Structure 1
Amino acid sequence: MANRSLAACLNDLKRGQHLLEIDVPIDPHLQMAEIQRRVYQAQGPALLFKNVTGCRFPMVGNLFGTMDRTRYLFRHTLENVRQLVALKIDPNAGFKAPLKSLKALPTAIRMLPRKVRRGPILKHQIQIEDLPQLVSWPKDGGAFVTLPQVYSEDVAKPGLMGSNLGMYRVQLSGNEYEPNRQIGLHYQIHRSIGVHHSHALAEGKPFRVNIFVGGHPAMTLAAVMPLPEGMSELMFGGALAGHRIPMITSPNRAGIYAEADFCIVGTIDPERQLPEGPFGDHLGYYSLQHEFPVLNVEAVYHRPGAIWPFTVVGRPPQEDTAFGEIIHEITGPIIPTVIAGVHEIHAVDAAGVHPLLLAIGSERYVPYAKERRPQELLTCANAILGQGQLSLAKYLIIAAHEDDPSLNCHDISKFLQHVLQRADWTRDLHFQTRTTIDTLDYSGSGFNEGSKLVIAAAGAPKFELQAELTGALNLPHEILSAQLVMPGVLAVSGLDYQSDQESRGIQPLLDLPVTHPVNKFRLVIVVDDAEFAAATLNNFLWTTFTRSNPAADIFGIGAFTDQKHWGCEGALIIDARVKPHHAPPLIEDPEVTRSVDALAAKRGPLHGIIS
């Protein structure tokens, strides 16, 4: 039987030995976040903090910290939700497996939200300052809600079925917000809530927004789920929770999730924005302070026995990695029905999600050609970059399914080597310049501004990948270290960044002839620390794709421009050094680290969980 509340889910986790209760006082200012990060890295249990410094509400973290636990939370419903997705892909599947389809019918019925007049959420009323004040990183601008479910309705089409439930950043304190009366909401206009906001402004009507925290964990997952246009997140939440989501409705306010643990009710200020941030974000750097919408708070509610769930983001992988993995499990099979010709897509978590997108598509334009080259793949790439959040991709690398039907873009090292063997740098590099990129990515030319690169690879292998550092590379003397990352990829360091030069200080590399031994490597990454970048695949992905803006930071040996197409005859070079305009990386407070070390010592509550 599926659980109906967060407290019931936690009891279920406790019975299954997936939950650790911590009774000693824990400070939500930095200490709790570091505990959560370290327990996640150790693949430890969910954490219920029962004694939160300065707050009467318990807090729970690391709920989704392992895929086993995430599947355990939804074990009663996950298979039926997958079956519903399969039916959407192929309605004939209902005839092929009628027993499975019949089992999915009750799930379909539970997808409809249920209107109610009252619920436990309205039992108690408090103020913003009474809520847990989680601060995750030393330079954060205040306390943030890190697992919010932000609910809005379209004034042009009000009601539950036209609503949006999204996970947008919420700042509770700090900056210029008036205490207990204003909080910050970080979202962009292309998000569904932004569409609702623009409609409210156009019609001159109040834009009412409710922020839920807690309730069934299915609602948290629903808030991050990329759903087909027109499908309500409330419907998905109900299917995954195993019951219809009860929503308190009234004519003059947006719906309220009756079984949430907390709810903040308010109206977006139509007149102004206020500075929001900084905030340590999922790219592994701070997103800096910028003006974003303000919610004028009207009421704050909580249910009896309320528990505050939270997560911590930072350099991936972190707990939110599980969101991407479970989303792929559920929705991965539907990709070919949404984007014609595309077999698989992988937003690479280790690279910060949006900076790097890998894809497999079909290449069938001229099947009788003696030598295939990317043609249909470019159509696939353009379609991918036109889809919702996929449009934020900075690097899109796409390979042809026909070249290796067993290729899997989640096997990142194998996928990249497959592409490096086939991609022709004189032909297969396709740039978009002066376009939009992720708001959180500071590698570009300005706020929300940067460039994109599509690398398409099709056909038989053309290039042999250098798999070891042998013989004299005869690199320029300025290069102090050269490290093999993987076959075909070399990391070098020692070149000083020169912002006043077009080549940014890598001219000694660019001056090498195409016959030079360094061109045995298809890709050369210029970094601040070659040993670090080459130490692990994750280090390479994070360093390369979060610290480079394609149009500004890609160079090549033997580079040329022909009819406005850029390419190179030798090695492709990516400048992945830290630049002066980049946001600072996330670094823990040493004193807080020592306090967590003490909790992990013998007889401490975290002994045996983290080292």
Structure 2
Amino acid sequence: MRTLPSYPSLRSFLDWCATSDQFQHVPDPVSVTHQMTAVHRAVLERRGPVLQFDHPLLIGGAKSTVPVVLNLFGTPERVAAGLGVTLDGLDDLGAFLAALRAPTPPDGLRDALSRWPMLKAALATRPKIVKSAQVQSVVSKGDDVDLMALPIQTHWPQDAGPLITWPVVVTRPHGTEAAEVGTYNAGVYRAQVLDHNRLIMRWLPHRGGAAHHQSWARQGEKTPVAVVLGADPATLLSAALPLPESVSELTFAGALNGSRPRLVPAKTVPLMVPADAETVLEGWVSPSELAPEGPFGDHTGYYNPAEPFPVLEVSAITHRKDAVYLSTYTGRPPDEPAIIGEVFNTLALPTIRAQIPEIHDLWLPPAACSYRMAVVSISKRYPGQARRVMLALWGMLPQFSYTKMIVVVDEDIDPRNWDDVAWALATRMDPARDVMLLDNTPMDYLDFASPQPGLAGKMGIDATTKIDSETSREWGTVMRMSEEDAGFAADLVARLMPGAGG
């Protein structure tokens, strides 16, 4: 499955970026307050390299000795590389993910042998527990804990304060042991810095970390948590992937890397943590204490309002001697989450097709916040099929419950080409007949257009060719050149206009 070298740590991936001319040092002093985000956004919009700010300026202007790394996944090529493949290898990886969700028994010995790579990948998920690790070279506990010494960014002018944006938050449910790594959840949740030893954990109710916290809170107990900063790319992306609930993100990272993940016991909480990370914040989340988180700029391009979320008290900070701090920003696309979403769109296609086989292609436009809108092309065979596909998508994955508009087109339309989609809407869709509206359906509460927080309408637009009982009129015939004439024209134009693009 993996076609690129294994990157067991963030710095090994940065080395690969450097050797492929995708890494650049920034020697200038740059403030973590707003300035770094402005530089990051400008470079990301140009599909530029990974940046390492060697001399970050902390709040108040003091220089930090901890470099800041930004724009790690600023191009689809680097996201794919973090998964261990080139862009043209995403289809095979997507098929592997689909098989995880719905495995089928082998059809004879030959089929069983053909699945050996998948079996090998599954074996690679067994973690290797080590007794010591570089991430614990320096340990600060108690009064020595100081989050304000880290170069944590304040991204936007109206943000409430410093915000950790690339943490891999590790939890386990109540009633399990620290050694039961298969029960762990690793999610990417933003964390607001309250003071020198407290964070606010913004995990939404449907996320795994929140479910684990509730299992501890029901017993009146604090939840052990490890916030991993600067994990290896496979762990970072596994924490963001919509994996089946039965698959642990930490162990799945081993399958992506093609090697067993190395874990080490945390110093002050009963959890295992990635041994090759840059920094780990250990702590306990209160069963009852809440604090207002936000406002912060979000992926919608708006500031979300302050809302209460649980408070984590940091009991220890462990890190490498020469640790770097990995960060990013969220905002109106383009941002790194939107670029990651482009790649995940490709990865999700085999899983979606396994459930809805008539889907030919699907695109979640990054400009529409990566999930608010979907354009789907189908192989249409019967009346009403477009509507069935819309309803199936909305009910298939939790992520699609927040997709408020689905446009369905025929397979001769490229869903990623707005000109194609506009032509289909203009010539194959009648607003009175082909628009389906639903109300009071689940919606991301950050959607300010919704009449009520968490509830909104949905629109489905059938822009397919109408067949049989869908229309009483004879449908038009699409104009197309013959392949022979098109080839003749292409050859002639190439001679008439040598060197012209297109």
TM-score, with length taken from structure 1: 0.67
Report 1:492-503 matches (<5 A). Answer: none
SS at structure 1 position matched to 2:57: coil
- Answer yes or no: is the 8 Å Cα contact 1:340–1:380 preserved in 2: no
The 5 Å alignment of 1:403-418 reads: 404-418=410-424
Shift of 1:224: 0.9
What secondary structure sits across from 2:317 in the alignment?
Answer: strand
Q: Tell me how far apart the structure 1 counterparts of residues 302 and 285 of structure 2 sit (CA, whole Å).
A: 28
- Out of 71-80 and 303-312, give the one that drifted further: 71-80
Contact 1:381–1:454 (CA<8 Å) still a contact in 2? yes
- Structure 1 position 275, deviation (Å): 0.9
Q: Which amino acid aligns with 2:189?
A: Y
In the aligned structure 1, how far is the partner of 2:308 from the partner of 2:72? 31
Q: Which residue of 2 aligns with 1:242?
A: 258
**Counterpart of 1:438?**
444
Q: Distance in 2 between matches of 1:203 and 1:344?
A: 47
What are the Cα deviations for residues 114-161 of structure 1, in whole angstroms up to 9, with x where unaligned?
A: 333332222212421121120111111111111111111122555311
Q: Which runs of 5+ in 2 are unaligned?
A: 59-63, 476-502
Q: CA deviation at 1:46?
A: 0.9
Give the alignment partner of residue 398 of structure 1, picking from 384, 398, 408.
Answer: 408
* Alignment deviations for residues 156-183 of structure 1 (CA, whole Å, 9 cap, x no partner): 55531122111111112xxxx3x12321
CA distance in 1, matches of 2:359, 2:86: 28
Measured in 2, the distance between the counterparts of 1:409 and 1:84 equals 24
Residue 223 of structure 2 is matched in structure 1 by 207
**Deviation at 1:314?**
1.5
Does the Cα contact within 8 Å between 1:269 and 1:294 map onto a contact in 2? yes
Name the aligned partner's letter for residue 67 of structure 1: P
**Cα offset, 1:418, TM superposition:** 2.0
Q: 1:97 to 1:52 in 2, by over 3 A?
A: farther
- Residues 248 and 323 of structure 1, relative CA distance in 2, 3 Å threshold: same
For 2:206 and 2:83, the matched residues in 1 are separated by 30
Cα distance 1:339–1:113, how it changes in 2: closer, same or farther (>3 A)?
Answer: farther
Deviation at 1:35, TM superposition (A): 0.6
Q: Does the aligned pair in 1 maintain the 2:68–2:325 contact within 8 Å? A: yes
Contact 2:173 2:183 in 1 (8 A): yes
Check conservation: 1:152, 1:210, Cα contact below 8 A.
yes
- Aligned with 1:320: secondary structure? helix
**C-alpha distance in structure 2 between counterparts of 1:96 and 1:330, whole Å:** 26
Cα separation, partners in 2 of 1:74 and 1:435, compared to 1, 3 Å: closer
8 A contact 2:338–2:370 mirrored in 1: no
Residue 261 of structure 1: CA displacement? 0.9
Deviation at 1:405, TM superposition (A): 2.8
Contact 2:50–2:74 (CA<8 Å) still a contact in 1?
A: yes
Q: Distance in 2 between matches of 1:21 and 1:420?
A: 49
Q: Distance in 2 between matches of 1:73 and 1:116?
A: 24
1:273 aligned onto 2:302: no
2:86, 2:246 → 1: CA distance?
Answer: 22
Report matched runs for 1:152-163 at 5 Å: 152-157=171-176, 159-163=180-184
Which residue of structure 1 lines up, in the alignment, with residue 48 of structure 2? 44
Task: Name the CA distance, whole Å, in 1 between partners of 2:350 and 2:303.
Answer: 34
Whether 1:198 and 2:214 are equivalent positions in the alignment is yes
Corresponding pairs, count: 448
Shift of 1:98: 8.5
Structure of greater relative contact order (alpha carbons < 8 Å, 6+ residues apart): 2
Q: Match for 2:10 among 6, 29, 36? A: 6
Q: Give the secondary-structure state (helix, strand or coil) at the position aligned to 1:161.
A: helix
Per-residue CA distance 1:188-234 (angstroms, 9 max, x = gap): 21122222233223343332222111121111111111112311112
Q: Is structure 2 residue 93 aligned with structure 1 residue 64?
A: no
Counterpart-to-counterpart distance in 1, 2:317 and 2:415 = 44
Q: Which digits, 9 at most, give the CA deviation of each residue in 1:308-359, with x for residues without a partner? A: 1111221112222221122233332221224565554433210112321233
Q: Which residue of 2 aligns with 1:558?
A: none
Q: Say if 2:269 and 2:282, in contact at 8 Å, map to a contact too.
A: no
Rounded to whole Å, the distance in 1 between the matches of 2:154 and 2:262 is 31
Aligned to 2:272: 255
Specify the code of the residue in structure 2 equivalent to 1:429: V
Name the counterpart of 1:140: 159
| Aligned counterparts, 1:330-479, within 5 A | 330-339=347-356, 342-361=359-378, 364=381, 367=382, 372=383, 374=384, 376-386=385-395, 387-399=397-409, 404-460=410-466
Alignment pair present for 1:127 and 2:149: no
Distance 1:120 1:99, change over 3 A: same
Aligned equivalent of 2:200, options 181, 184, 193: 184
State the distance in 2 between where 1:397 and 1:77 align. 30
Aligned to 1:170: 191
Q: Deviations over 1:37-78 (max 9, x none)?
A: 001111211111111113221111111112233334455698
Work out whether residues 216 and 241 of structure 1, in 8 Å CA contact, stay in contact via their aligned partners in 2. no
User: For 1:220, what is the secondary structure of its paired residue?
Assistant: helix
- Look up the equivalent residue of 1:2 and give its one-letter code: S
Uncovered stretches (5+) of structure 1, i.e. residues with no partner: 465-611
SS in 2 for 1:268: strand
Q: Distance in 2 between matches of 1:117 and 1:77?
A: 35
Asked whether 1:231 is paired with 2:247, we answer: yes
Are the aligned partners of 1:81 and 1:107 in contact in 2 as well (CA < 8 Å)?
no
> What is the DSSP-based 3-state SS (H/G/I as helix, E as strand, rest coil) of the residue aligned with 1:426?
helix
C-alpha spacing 1:276/1:97, structure 2 compared with 1 (3 Å): same
Q: Secondary structure at the match of 2:433?
A: coil
Contact 2:338 2:369 in 1 (8 A): no
| C-alpha separation in 1, matches of 2:389 and 2:34 | 44
Match of 2:96 among 81, 84, 105: 84
Within 2, Cα distance between the matches of 1:36 and 1:44?
Answer: 9
Cα distance in 2 for partners of 1:459, 1:145 equals: 48
d(CA) in 2 for partners of 1:417, 1:7: 47
Q: 2:120: which partner in 1?
A: 106
User: Per-residue CA shift, 1:573-607, capped at 9, x if unaligned?
Assistant: xxxxxxxxxxxxxxxxxxxxxxxxxxxxxxxxxxx
CA-based RMSD = 3.1
3-state DSSP of counterpart to 2:210: helix
Q: Please give the alpha-carbon distance, in whole angstroms, between the structure 2 residues aligned to 1:94 and 1:310.
A: 48
Deviation at 1:93, TM superposition (A): 9.6
Is the contact made by 1:335 and 1:344 (CA closer than 8 Å) also made in structure 2? no
- Give the letter aligned to residue 122 of structure 1: Q
Between the aligned partners of 1:13 and 1:328, the Cα distance in structure 2 is 24
1:239 is displaced (CA, Å) by: 2.2
Please say if residues 149 and 167 of structure 1, whose CA atoms lie closer than 8 Å, have aligned partners that are also in contact.
Answer: yes
Query: 1:19 offset after TM fit, Å?
Result: 0.6
Aligned to 1:306: 323
Pair 198,453 (structure 1): closer, same or farther in 2 beyond 3 Å:
farther
Whether contact under 8 Å (1:263, 1:300) holds in the other structure is yes
CA distance in 2, matches of 1:263, 1:338: 39
Moved more, 19-28 or 104-113: 104-113
